[in-house]
């Protein structure tokens, strides 16, 4: 049976793993995955062992090599089974080189267009490239240009959210993202590329992982805030919103939008925003957790840290309008904050219970 051949970057990332799961739910799809290490590829093979190897293969490109010109050239070549579409899900953060916001935007733009040039030169059968982005990298850089993105992902990072203007941070991050998106779309139209692009953008991304958590170190920056609300770990990350971005999307909705954008013609050269509204304050999240998991009542607390009681406008800013996402992609029922928090915390509780059981059995 003929299968649509997809090239997926960042397949081992939080959002990328959800995109992969949705792609694998389509019997008519096969994929080549770009992952950051052989270990990451091994984990995916173990998790996706029910899928025939002929439907899935992987190449390894280390994070440190992502900005090397032409690093994707060889991976994009497959003469026997050429790719027809691509999902590009890598946020390259060249923070060490960016001494100002304009430079940061230029480097981000150059990285994406550099990837598209490789697609143009080495994947002639591709007709659609979906680029998946988030506002959080821009907000992180604006909050502290010297944050090491790899370290942030590993330890949960830190936030200066309590001292930033959330509205300004959101607007500036979105404007920065728009500059990159506009440049990418313009290049695609003017370069004579044989493909078009669709850009799926989320403000920040929360939600459960595809597979059970193995360790708390696997938590994303956003999800770690939820973990810290009901655990005994340091509560620095409970300050809301993270890097000043208080709007959110559920990772499952972002993945759904990305996969739909692969196959819907009307998404051509469009920027599609996936935003479910604002993530509640810490105190409100705590109330959701206690309501859904009463057994956690004695553990939920912020140890005297200030609660953020805000009157949030129900209407999103104009630049987070989801009209195009709904009308073009048909994604109309986004998961609410309550659903996202509940599903994510349930998965975290499962991890804690498994860790507790292992401790008991080992002793």
Q: Which residue has the tokens 């799961």?
A: 21
Q: Which of 86, 61, 233 is nearest to 223 (CA)?
A: 233
Looking at domain 4-302+326-358, its CATH class is: alpha beta
Alpha helix locations (H) across the chain? 14-24, 38-47, 101-122, 136-143, 149-155, 166-190, 221-230, 251-263, 282-292, 323-324, 337-362
Residue 46: both structure tokens together: 């173990």
**137-151, 160-174, 216-230: range with lowest mean pLDDT:** 137-151
Angle at 247 between CA 250 and CA 237, to 5 degrees: 85
Mean pLDDT of 53-67: 85
- Residue 101, classed as helix, strand or coil, is helix
Q: In angstroms, what CA-CA distances link 138 with 63, 93, 144, 262?
A: 18, 9, 10, 25
Which range (55-69, 260-274, 298-312, 330-344) has the least confidence?
298-312
CA nearest 108: which of 63, 66, 60, 171? Answer: 66
Structure tokens at 132: 């998946």
Tens digit of each residue's pLDDT (9 = 90 or more) over 149-205: 433 333 233 344 445 678 889 999 999 999 999 999 999 999 999 999 999 999 999
Is the predicted pLDDT of residue 7 greater than 90, yes or no? yes
Considering only residues 207 and 358, tell me which one the structure prediction assigns the higher pLDDT: 207
More confident residue, 116 or 362: 116
The residues with which 201 forms a beta bridge, in sequence order, are 133, 273
Domain ranges of the chain: 4-302+326-358
- Residue 204 makes CB contacts below 8 A (sequence gap 6+) with 134, 135, 136, 139, 222, 241, 242, 245, 247, 248, 249, 279
Question: Which string of DSSP letters, residue by residue, matches 161-189?
Answer: GGGS-HHHHHHHHHHHHHHHHHHHHHHHH
pTM for this predicted structure: 0.89
* pLDDT of 146 strictly over 90: no
- What single-letter DSSP state applies at residue 352? H
Beta partners for residue 205, in sequence order: 249
How much is the pLDDT for 222?
92
Provide the 10 A C-beta neighbour count for residue 139: 27
Q: What is the C-alpha separation between 72 and 74, in angstroms, rounded?
A: 6
Across residues 279-287, what is the average pLDDT? 90
């Amino acid at each position: 049976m003929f299968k649509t051949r997809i090239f997926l970057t960042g397949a081992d990332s939080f959002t990328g793993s959800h995109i992969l799961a949705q792609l694998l739910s389509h019997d008519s799809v096969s994929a080549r995955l770009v992952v950051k290490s052989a270990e990451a590829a091994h984990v995916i093979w173990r998790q996706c062992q029910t899928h025939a190897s002929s439907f899935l293969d992987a190449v390894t490109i280390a994070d440190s090599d992502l900005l090397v010109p032409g690093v994707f050239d060889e991976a994009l070549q497959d003469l026997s089974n050429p790719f027809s579409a691509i999902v590009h899900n890598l946020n390259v953060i060249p923070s060490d080189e960016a001494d100002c916001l304009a430079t940061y935007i230029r480097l981000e733009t150059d990285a994406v267009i550099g990837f598209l040039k490789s697609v143009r030169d080495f994947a002639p059968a591709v007709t659609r490239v979906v680029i998946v982005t988030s506002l959080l990298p821009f907000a992180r850089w604006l909050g502290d240009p010297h944050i090491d993105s790899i370290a942030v992902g590993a330890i949960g990072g830190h936030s200066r959210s309590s001292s930033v203007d959330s509205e300004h941070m959101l607007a500036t991050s979105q404007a920065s993202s728009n500059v990159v998106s506009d440049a990418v779309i313009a290049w695609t139209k003017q370069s004579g590329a044989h493909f078009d692009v669709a850009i799926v953008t989320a403000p920040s991304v929360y939600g459960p992982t595809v597979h059970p958590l193995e360790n708390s170190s696997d938590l994303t920056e956003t999800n770690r805030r939820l973990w810290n609300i009901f655990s005994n770990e340091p509560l620095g990350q409970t300050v809301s919103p993270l890097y000043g971005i208080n709007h959110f999307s559920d990772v499952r909705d972002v993945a759904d939008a990305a996969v739909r954008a692969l196959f819907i013609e009307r998404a051509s050269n469009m920027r599609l925003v996936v935003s479910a509204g604002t993530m509640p304050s810490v105190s409100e999240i705590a109330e959701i957790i206690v309501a859904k998991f009463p057994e956690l009542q004695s553990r939920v607390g912020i140890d005297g840290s200030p609660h953020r009681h805000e009157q949030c406008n129900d209407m999103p800013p104009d630049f987070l309008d989801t009209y195009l996402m709904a009308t073009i992609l048909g994604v109309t029922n986004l998961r609410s904050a309550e659903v996202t928090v509940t599903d994510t915390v349930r998965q975290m509780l499962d991890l804690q219970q498994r860790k507790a059981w292992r401790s008991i059995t080992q002793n």
